[in-house]
Structures are given as structure tokens and as C-alpha cells.
Structure 1
Amino acid sequence: MNAQLRLCGLVLFLPALLALNACEQNASTADSGEDVRIVARVNDEPISETMLELHVRRRTGKSLDGISADKRETLLLELVEMALIAQDARSNGLADDPRVRARMRNMHYAVLAQAMLEDLKGRAVSEDRMRERFNEAVASGEHSQEFHARHILLRSAEEAREVIEALDDGADFARLARERSHGPTASRGGDLGWVVPGEMVATFGEAIKELEVGEYTHEPIRTRYGHHVIKLEDRREREPPRFEQMTGHLRNELAEERINAYVRDLRQNADVELYRPKNDSDSE
């Protein structure tokens, strides 16, 4: 496809990460002497095949090879239009606007941070380390019981406390879950089925283990998904899983621990200053 692509009135699609930094990055990467295939040029600024690949994956969830030629051209034209708009924004001085520069810097942080965390998560975990963790879990009885639980997922602790008050007043847990829960189990009355606490988010799993059958949590349980109210329906003994059944979970668990330790180490060794906003009391 040559550089004289005809723009055909596409509805503009401006994904946040790409729209603001694509044109800033492409000149330095594509012209840096690397072996990068150029798929278009916009006023002498190149668009690389890698840029197109990322755009295609973001828009379709597929690779370049997984889309039709027409779809490829449509998505390439989107990139061309974004490049044209970004170039015009630069010529109008928007790249020097403090809010625009702040947004671009935030996105710069986000892209690099995500790349680093993906690299850490993708690093190999040794089988010896997984077996060690597996043996620890079996010895502790972590997987010797499974629990039949329900939960109601709320967006705030205040909403969760309202649900707890309703339960205290005799409301039916399953009905409240169908009416109030934001989770995918809402249509099932919050039913999670039989679960193993050690294979769940830590705070959620610990809360389940503390409950008696028929009891629900009287304080919201917070996870990265929101605030939960949890009810234990039943518990039973189970055969410990085989190591082969647990490798995926163990690998993910150890990778998450590696990431948490990495972030904790960065914090401990960084020179960070936090500035509180000034208020009237500060000036007195």
C-alpha cells in the first residue's frame, strides 16, 4: 500500500494510549536503523507494522494475520487519521499544553509499567519452587476442605453495610444478591458453588474460612474487585489435589508474589516525597 492512501471519511477512533503518543514515538523507532517494516507515511512520519499490529489487537483482539485485507486497510486508515490529527495538534501548540503533557506523561508511565509487570509475570517459575509451595499447602491443610459460598459484590463499603443491615433485618441473601450484586453471579443469587479458599483472593478466602455454616460476614470484605458480603452455605472435606492439577495456580501465585516483592522493594529503596494540598489551617 503506497503513501497516497485516500482517506474515506471513517468515523474516528481515538484509543487513549495510542492517539496521544503514536506520532511522538514512531519517528524515533521507525527511523532508528532497526529492522522495522513501514506500512504508511504521514507527512514523512512513518507508521510501522508494529504500531499497526498493536492497534489491530487493541481494536479486534486479533493479530494482523487474523483479519481480512479490508479490515487491515480500515484500521491502518484509522492510524493515518490519528497521525494527521496529532500532527495538527502539535502545530497548534497543544503538545505544550500542561494538561496534555501531563496526560502523555501518565500514559508513558502506564505503558512502561505494564510492560515491566508483564515481563516479570512471564518469567519462568521453577518446578522445584512450585513443588515446595504445593507441599507447604498440602501440609497446612489449605486444600483439605472446600466451601459452598455466596457473595454480594458492591461498589462501596457503604453499599455493603446497607446490605448487611438488610440481612440483619431478615432479608433473603439470594434475593439481595440478585437485586444488588454487581458480580457475574448475581443472576444465581450470588452462588459461587464449591470453592477452595487457598485458591481465591487472600482476603476473600480468609473470610470464608472464618464463617460458620449459615453465617454471613458482618463487615464488608474488600478485594480489588470491590466490597463483598459473603455467606457460607456449607463445607466439606475433599481429597487434596495432585500437583499436576495445581501447576497453573501455583505458577500464577508465585508470579504475583514476585511482582508484589518487586514493587515493595522499589518503594523501600525509592526517594519519594508526597506533598499535601495546602488548606486554611496550614497557613495559620
Structure 2
Amino acid sequence: MKFSLSALTVAALMLAAPWAAAQNVAIVNGKAVPTARLEALAKQVSASGQPVTDEVRARMKEEVVLREIFMQEAQKRGVAASEEYKTQMELARQTIMIRAMFADFAKKNPVTDAETKAEYDKFVAANGGKEYRARHILVEKEDEAKAIIASLKGSAKFEDIAKKQSKDPGSGANGGDLDWATAASYVPEFSEAMVKLEKGQTTETPVKSQFGWHIIRLDDVRQAELPKYDDIKPQISQQMQQQKLAAFQKELRDKAKVE
């Protein structure tokens, strides 16, 4: 007597098959590769900012299958018993645990809106006020600087001399232009001389700093243009979160008894 499946049994198997397949990405040498592995990899890719398209998902599926193939071969060869494998596994375990601990700390110690606003206000207080657009010519010797000042009182152009004689390669190529900056951006000797100048005025005497001798011309002055709070709030929050994490790490290190 031949054995045959009833119509009800066949229908049940047909209904169950898609469900069973959905649980696994593939069956490799008789071993199921669960879909959870693919989803975990997709989550990592998505977290990196890359969209998980059908094409990307197909490549990830192949990656998961290849990993299973290679893992099976590694197990056959007894790789798990080697000291190198054990050492690397321990390092990986430590990395994962530490990363998870820091993620948990960040979750439980978020940067508040009040904290970011207070930090922004400090930034404004430190960087507000005036910005200066200046040019300078940097030389090594005071006599050389004095000679340049004398030539500028004649028909010589500041920009031309800066291009030819300035020892500052960054600004020299641009005719001595230092772009817009606050006075605090420069060394004290330079900023003190610069802020005393009127628009269009050049220093009458050379200014000495740790870099050499400067001839400074002030081209313009304006109120500092600072970014709006909402525009830089994410950066402030990220920076403050990093500071909190650094403080947490230092606290743990300081409390640890290391012999």
C-alpha cells in the first residue's frame, strides 16, 4: 500500500513553508542560518548612515552565508582551541562589554537643553565683541621691518611686499591677509598693537612677537558674527557628552586600586 499525504497535510505544509523559510536566511551544510543574523548586520549598516536597499540587503545575505561557511570550516580545523583565538575572543569580549557600558552611561546621563544653552552662553561671552580684518608682513629682523615701513610711506604697496618678503607662508601668498578673527586669536603683542589701529592704518613701528617682527595693517572692524544656538546645539551636545564620558572614565581610573 502506497503512503500518500492527505490534502489537509499538504496544505498545512504549504502554509508552514514560508513561515519556516522566514526564520532562516539559508541552510548551509544542513545548518540553519537564522534571519536574526541578517537583521543584526542590517542594523549596524543602518546605524552607520547607509541606507539598507534591496541590493545592500542581498550583499549582506551573501556575507552572512559566507560567514557561516567559514565558521563551519574553522570549527572543523579546531581554530577555537588555539591560544590566538582565545586571546582575540577575550579582547573582543572586553571591547563589546566596555562599549555597552559606555552606551548605557550615555543613555543614563544625557546632556540636557539647559546644559547646552549654558555652554553656548559661555561661548558667546568668550567670542562676542569685535572681529578684525588685518594684514601683516612678518620678517626676521627689526631693521628689515623698519625699512618696509619706510617704503610703505612712499609708493610701495603692502600686498606686494607681503607676497615677496613675508615669512608667513599662509598669509604672505594672499598679500598678508589674515581674514576675520577676534583679537584673542593672536599672540598678545600682535593683538595689542592691532586693536589700537584705525581702519586703513599701519603700525608706525615694528611689532615683536615670538615669530619675528610684524608690520600690521588694519583693514576693517565689525561685530563678531556668531552661529545661532539652534544651528550648533547638536555639536555642543556631542562635545559635552564626550566630556561627560571622559570624566566618567577618569573617575573610574582614579578610584581603581592598581598595584
TM-score, normalisation: structure 2: 0.50
TM-score, normalisation: structure 1: 0.46
Q: Which has the higher Rg, Structure 1 or Structure 2?
A: 2
